[in-house]
Structure 1
Amino acid sequence: MRLQLVALLIMAAAWLGCQEEKPQQVKTGQEGKPLPSFAIQLLDSTSYIHSDDLSANKNLVLFYFKPTCPYCRAQMRDMLNNMEKFKDKELCILTNEDLKGAKDFARYFKLNRYKNVIVGRDTGSVVLKTYRVIAVPLTAYYDNNKQLKTFYAGRMGPGSFLQ
């Protein structure tokens, strides 16, 4: 009985952590406020950059994912199919999951081909805590001053990007 309860809790957590729904613009109370300060562990596992070091004077798209989430994978595919819309922006693709999953995700989508893409791990889950998010994918748009403009929870369709 105890094992069944544990299995049920694990399944519920997996379901809550990865949902496809119509993307909803979420009011976080952080609109107009700067990107939170956090460390990003890069895929080589030894290098870190800080959120403050992301490109100045460029709009930022922050995409938070779970490597095994099918909706995150579908949204990443849609984003890559629309990369012309992101050419003048920096994409920061983050997870708080293990680094192996992030590496596999980046390798699968060949994200190293793009100069404007940073993939890494939010080691302290700062983004999730700041915006009180329990499900992925999430997409946040910041202006060139790194102030939050819009925040979306759920998978966005291919026509939704940067409207």
Structure 2
Amino acid sequence: MRITMILLLLACSFIGYGQSDSLHNHRAKANTDTIPPYLRIPYLPTFSIQTPDSSWFSKSQLQENKPVLLLYFSPDCGHCMIETEEMIGKMNSLKNLQIVMATSREFDEMKKFADHYKLERFRNVRIGRDAQRTITRFYRVKFTPFSALYDKKGNFLKAYEKGIDWEELLRLVK
């Protein structure tokens, strides 16, 4: 009888150990799933956006050794409009920064936004539609505007989830 009880206790402890191990693995996987990819992969993601002239612009077309600001926006977002106006007002200080503005909204909405702000006049700004939602998924964008800043080597510096702190951004890209 004692031997049966001991064997039963040992069996239960092995079962409990196996369950706790699989629970630990499940929790570890859940933790990595909650971390946005841009925090796990600290490099500018591969992307392709359709520009207002219907051509395509991708990461491979960015100039080397220049910092990049990726700005995800919605054409009808009031905060996005304000941020775009602030960006335009600071454009003299942003000349050495490559700015990629992307939206997942309809092409016509993106084009109207670009035309309204006359963004084609800025050589360092590329705007387009992220039809595949690559950027949205990589950054897990919850609100617009969302921006991510990368240094001249393509390394992640800072995300701005609630609007850009322009003074800080200018210090970071000097």
**Pairwise TM-score range, normalised by the shorter structure:** 0.7 to 0.9
The structure having more radius of gyration, on CA atoms, is 2
C-alpha contact 1:96 1:122 (8 A) present in aligned 2: yes
User: Within 1, Cα distance between the matches of 2:166 and 2:112?
Assistant: 23
Q: Percent identity?
A: 30
Q: TM-score, normalised by structure 1?
A: 0.76
Gaps of 5+ in 2: 1-35
* 2:50 partner letter: Q
Deviation at 1:161, TM superposition (A): 4.0
CA distance in 2, matches of 1:156, 1:36: 20
Task: Tell me the SS of whatever aligns to 2:143.
Answer: coil
What is the DSSP-based 3-state SS (H/G/I as helix, E as strand, rest coil) of the residue aligned with 2:81? helix
* Structure possessing the higher relative contact order (Cα contacts under 8 Å, 6 or more residues apart): 1
Equivalent residue for 2:69?
Answer: 61
TM-score w.r.t. structure 2 length?
A: 0.71
Find the partner of 2:144 among 136, 144, 150.
136
Are the aligned partners of 2:70 and 2:148 in contact in 1 as well (CA < 8 Å)?
yes
Richer in helix (by share):
2
Question: Whose strand proportion is higher, 1 or 2?
Answer: 1
- Offset of residue 36 of structure 1: 0.8
SS in 2 for 1:151: strand
Q: Deviations for 1:6-40, whole angstroms, at most 9, x for unmatched residues?
A: xxxxxxxxxxxxxxxxxxxx995246x22111211
Give the RMSD, CA atoms, in angstroms: 2.0
* One-letter identity of the residue aligned with 1:41: Q
> SS of 1:36's equivalent?
coil
1: CA distance, partners of 2:40 / 2:89 = 30
Would the alpha carbon gap of residues 156 and 35 (structure 1) be closer, same or farther in structure 2, given more than 3 Å must change?
closer
Runs of 4+ displaced beyond 3 Å: 156-161
Answer whether contact 2:37 2:138 (CA < 8 A) is retained. Answer: no
* C-alpha separation in 1, matches of 2:37 and 2:90: 25
Count matched residues. Answer: 136
8 A contact 1:30–1:148 mirrored in 2: no
How big is the shift at 1:139?
1.2
